[in-house]
Structure 1
Amino acid sequence: MQLSALRLRLLVVSLLTVSFIGALDNTVVSTSLATIAGDLGALQNMGWVIVGYTLASTVTLPVIGKLADLLGPRSVFLVSLVVFIAASLACGFSSSMLWLVAARVVQGMSSAGLQLMSQTIIARVATPRQRPKLLSIVGAAFPIAILIGPVLGGLITDYWGWPWVFWINLPVGAVAFALAIFAVPHIEPGVRAPFDFAGTISLTVALVAVVLAVTWVGDPSQGLQTVLAFGCCAVATAVFFVIELRVAEPIVPLRFFADRTVAAGTVLSAIVGISVFSLTSYLPTYFQMAYQLSATLSGLVPIATVFGMLVSNVATGILASRTGEYRLFPIIGTSLGTAGLLAMAALPVGLPIWVPMVAMAIVGVGTGSFMSLIVAVVQSAVPSSETGSITAAVNLARQVGATVATALIGGVIGFGVAALLPGGLDAQTLTPQLVRAASPAVQLQVAEVYSTVFVPIFAATALVFAVGIVASVLLPPGRLSDERVADVETLSV
């Protein structure tokens, strides 16, 4: 489908805008969470504001991907945008935590549609060679949201009130919708077929179970529920695979994973979530406890990571579109990620803050070099009629990887610190402020504990990136085609 240069630019602006508000919605809320919970009188349930959103966006991805293939991505995109705006309005008017969580669930479902359809629409209107550049521009929304979201959320909460954290989506969303009506073309849906309800139900049960299990795994009081959730996930996953191998139009096209490009690309996408997306959540805690830094200074390391990711994401997208080459970028990127994380594992505590900033910036550069590119490569390996489903599968691998790894890292930190802290210090009540006010000897002990706990975490994530090197090498060599070819293999070898 050939678009004029003006219409293509307007399309990218519209997709970038909705991707940004979708990505921003989670990071901006995190800063306001304590205020929201206090106003609604439900501090003990405030975690569900985030968990409900994440859970809904995760389990909805494959459903939306298949609907895009069956109904056309334009319709799914516009409906998702309208629902997202309505849910944002409802969130701001919440008078109870139950109302807010329910609205956040709807918001999470529609946000998944915005993110996924942005990538799917680009795949359907651009050639394989154009996609890396366009996807990198749209994909820049996520790191930008991480960089400015917490600050913006704090400013809005302090000066306008927390409802505006959600209501700010209304005018921005309205502008994006007006642009989308004009810029997003009608795209013919794929083959009409019965929707895979059985596969959808079994996959949803499996995803809900695994997200709840990893959420509960660090809570000793939830031991039985955690075991039952993991068991439910295992059974539902087995049922899902049986169904998908038999149904005519599966919600997740498993047959494509026999293709080396799809299989390796999905592994690389999961690595982004398992390593960087999960680890950056805990970096401020590490530097506050091990380096005795303030909360502000401790945020410099994840900022350096995300900034490196942002720059390399755009740069490699432009280079890949210009040259058609794609295989070299993930090889270099995973190598850089491995080196940066091994350096973090080897660095002694107490070095100037710029040293770990440089190490983690290298990790960010490595991650960004294939974060969006790999989506374009995988899309180019399947027929256009299956673009929505395969894009959903790649994103699902990343999101589930991030969710599971975040919970596992949190559990390792919690159990490790509690086991190694010297007597007289309680892991449940230990704060950075208490550590900085303690004697130099206690500060040194706490720093050693956190260093001991984090070294294997850095080493393990380096190992994950090393697996990515293998997956990158296994990508078939070739060039991204500059031809618009429907329903055929578009990676020319």
Structure 2
Amino acid sequence: MPLSAWRLRLLIVSLLTVSFLGALDHTVVATSLATITGELGAVEQMSWVIVSYTLASTVLLPVLGKLADLVGARLVFLSSLALFVVASLFCGLAQDITQLAIARVAQGVGSAGLHLMPQTIVGEVTSPRERPKVMSWIGAAFPIAILVGPIAGGLITDAWGWRWIFWINIPVGMIALALAVIAVPHIAGRSGRRFDIVGALVLGVTVTAFVFAASWASAGTPGTGIPLLIAAVVAIVGLAAFIAIELRVSEPVVPLRHFANRTILVCIVLSTVIGVGLFSVVSYVPTYIQMAYGVSATVSGLVPIATVFGMLVSTLVTGSLASRSGHYRAFPIFGTAAAAIGLFLMALLPPGMPLWVPMLAMGLVGIGTGAYMNIIVAVAQSAAPRTDTGSVTATISLVRQVGSTTATAIVGGLIGVGVTAGLPASLDASTLTPQAVAASSAAVQAQVAELYSSVLAPIFIGLALAYAVGIVAALLLPHGRLSDELEPQPVVGAENAAETATA
């Protein structure tokens, strides 16, 4: 039965609160990372605070998605929120980096549920026609968290200490949990089916090995040759083993039939493009702007703000339009084209341009990405049997996360190698900071600006080409219209995806 209007509003408020809580945690911690590791005496192990959280949240996505299909999304959602709150308590109590990393793993598992379950629940209780609009409201939590998180993290750390960036999750999480208990309806699963434990373990090992292999390969750090080779072999063998397992089990973690459905396959490709094309580079843009344009760290933040603001406005507008008309194909076509143009413009910009120019270009990337980021989740859900809502939603999120993590490592490695190779002799790559460049002569500053532009230009072109692949994929998306009916019909094969799933 469809939810009443007031129950749906209460559900949206609940899911938005939880989504914002999960999205905010990552950005808040990033701002306070230097303070955390400094007080714990583990600056050299700083990356583990982020890596432990990111890997756990990525690897558990398909597991939680499948569990939602088997035992119900409500139970997985409430359990994830409770785990997140408890893990936040132990993060704040950590006395060394090991304790913090372990607690962050648990927090990452909970965060995966906070990210995935709201979309899954929306897919279960709303009609395909309603989903783009509702998902755009809930999806707005992500760009808002990016805008608010760094400021909130700095203020909390300065006022109360870094432990409170975790402990603040406890009262907010308890309120969100109470609200969720009331608002989230019971969603029946398929209890009695066997969960694919072996497939889940193999997938976890495979994804972890793949991410480490990409990171070591891009960094080019001496002494990582053998670990890189081992990780690459594990990833390749693991992928082959995972496919063999999934073809044989009755309830696969990632049903491979999704990839035989043209509509879902295109949505998977488009989601990967987002991870590779935007999320991989956005964290490096402020440094690029500081070095190439000679502005302060505060001013350089205006460029990613323009990106995120464009994404926020675009996702709200296109979600509403898609729900109003039921048509969805035009949005990914427009979005991938706009983002490709924005990144291509970034590649062409000479150093020293007025700051509003890169803001406009990256804002266009944000607008393009937001135009279809949440819509493709709704479309993929409508093209799958209702019994696969959790797993198809998880697959869309997983490829985006893996694409982002892998491409981020590659982009970071390329920037590091390129800058180190071309840096003026008067500057040391190991201690290079915007302040050191600003203290140098005008000639050296001009050299550094030109260097960063020359290093980043081919990277921006490569990412624009990734969105160009997205344009081709979007053009292959079958025509269709999202249904007003709550129950989507199961899809058999790729050819009738548009007619059966979205009719």
TM-score normalised according to structure 2 size? 0.96
Distance in structure 2 (CA, Å) of the matches to 1:475 and 1:251: 25
Distance in structure 2 (CA, Å) of the matches to 1:224 and 1:23: 36
1:186 deviates by: 0.6
Which stretch of structure 1 is more off in the superposition, 223-232 or 469-478? 223-232
Q: Map residues 347-386 of structure 1 onto 2, 5 A cutoff.
A: 347-386=349-388
Flag as ranges the 4+ runs of structure 1 deviating above 6 A. Answer: none
1:492 deviates by: 3.4
Which residue number corresponds to residue 337 of structure 2? 335
Question: What are the superposed Cα offsets for residues 437-481 of structure 1, whole Å, 9 maximum, x if unpaired?
Answer: 111111111111111100001100100000000010110001000
- The amino acid of 1:320's aligned partner reads A
Query: Would the aligned equivalents of 1:126 and 1:484 in 2 still touch at CA under 8 Å?
Result: yes
- The amino acid of 2:179's aligned partner reads L
Which residue number corresponds to residue 57 of structure 2? 57
Distance in structure 2 (CA, Å) of the matches to 1:418 and 1:43: 22
Which stretch of structure 1 is more off in the superposition, 395-404 or 268-277? 268-277
Distance in structure 2 (CA, Å) of the matches to 1:318 and 1:191: 35
Query: Would the aligned equivalents of 1:191 and 1:385 in 2 still touch at CA under 8 Å?
Result: no
Distance in structure 1 (CA, Å) of the matches to 2:450 and 2:225: 30
Query: Would the aligned equivalents of 2:488 and 2:501 in 1 still touch at CA under 8 Å?
Result: no
Which residue number corresponds to residue 48 of structure 2? 48
Which residue number corresponds to residue 180 of structure 1? 180
Which residue number corresponds to residue 111 of structure 1? 111
Match of 2:486, SS?
A: coil
Which residue number corresponds to residue 346 of structure 1? 348
1:222 deviates by: 2.3
Which residue number corresponds to residue 150 of structure 2? 150
Which stretch of structure 1 is more off in the superposition, 399-408 or 42-51? 42-51
- The amino acid of 1:121's aligned partner reads I
1:130 deviates by: 0.4
Q: Map residues 307-456 of structure 1 onto 2, 5 A cutoff.
A: 307-456=309-458
Query: Would the aligned equivalents of 1:74 and 1:186 in 2 still touch at CA under 8 Å?
Result: yes
Match of 1:479, SS?
A: coil
Distance in structure 1 (CA, Å) of the matches to 2:78 and 2:458: 45
| Identity value in percent | 60
Distance in structure 2 (CA, Å) of the matches to 1:223 and 1:308: 41
1:214 deviates by: 2.7
- The amino acid of 1:279's aligned partner reads V
Which residue number corresponds to residue 262 of structure 2? 260
Which residue number corresponds to residue 141 of structure 1? 141
In structure 2, list runs of 5 or more residues that go unmatched.
492-499
Q: Map residues 213-362 of structure 1 onto 2, 5 A cutoff.
A: 213-217=213-217, 218=219, 219-362=221-364
1:488 deviates by: 2.6
Distance in structure 1 (CA, Å) of the matches to 2:321 and 2:160: 42
- The amino acid of 2:59's aligned partner reads V
1:49 deviates by: 0.4
- The amino acid of 1:33's aligned partner reads L
1:491 counterpart = 2:501: yes
1:212 deviates by: 2.1
Which residue number corresponds to residue 208 of structure 1? 208
Question: What are the superposed Cα offsets for residues 269-306 of structure 1, whole Å, 9 maximum, x if unpaired?
Answer: 11111111111010011011111111011111111001
Distance in structure 2 (CA, Å) of the matches to 1:383 and 1:163: 44
Match of 1:428, SS?
A: helix
TM-score normalised according to structure 1 size? 0.98
Query: Would the aligned equivalents of 2:490 and 2:501 in 1 still touch at CA under 8 Å?
Result: no
1:228 deviates by: 1.2
1:77 deviates by: 0.5
Query: Would the aligned equivalents of 1:190 and 1:386 in 2 still touch at CA under 8 Å?
Result: no
Which residue number corresponds to residue 12 of structure 1? 12
Which residue number corresponds to residue 33 of structure 1? 33
In structure 1, list runs of 5 or more residues that go unmatched.
none
Query: Would the aligned equivalents of 1:385 and 1:487 in 2 still touch at CA under 8 Å?
Result: no
1:336 deviates by: 0.3
1:11 deviates by: 0.6
1:472 counterpart = 2:482: no
Question: What are the superposed Cα offsets for residues 219-265 of structure 1, whole Å, 9 maximum, x if unpaired?
Answer: 33323212211111111111001111121111101112111110000
1:191 deviates by: 6.6
- The amino acid of 1:17's aligned partner reads T
1:45 deviates by: 1.1
1:90 counterpart = 2:96: no
Distance in structure 2 (CA, Å) of the matches to 1:4 and 1:212: 47
Distance in structure 1 (CA, Å) of the matches to 2:369 and 2:502: 25
1:165 deviates by: 0.2
Question: What are the superposed Cα offsets for residues 83-105 of structure 1, whole Å, 9 maximum, x if unpaired?
Answer: 10000011111111111110000
Across the two proteins, how many residue pairs are aligned to each other?
493
1:190 deviates by: 3.3
Query: Would the aligned equivalents of 1:287 and 1:293 in 2 still touch at CA under 8 Å?
Result: yes
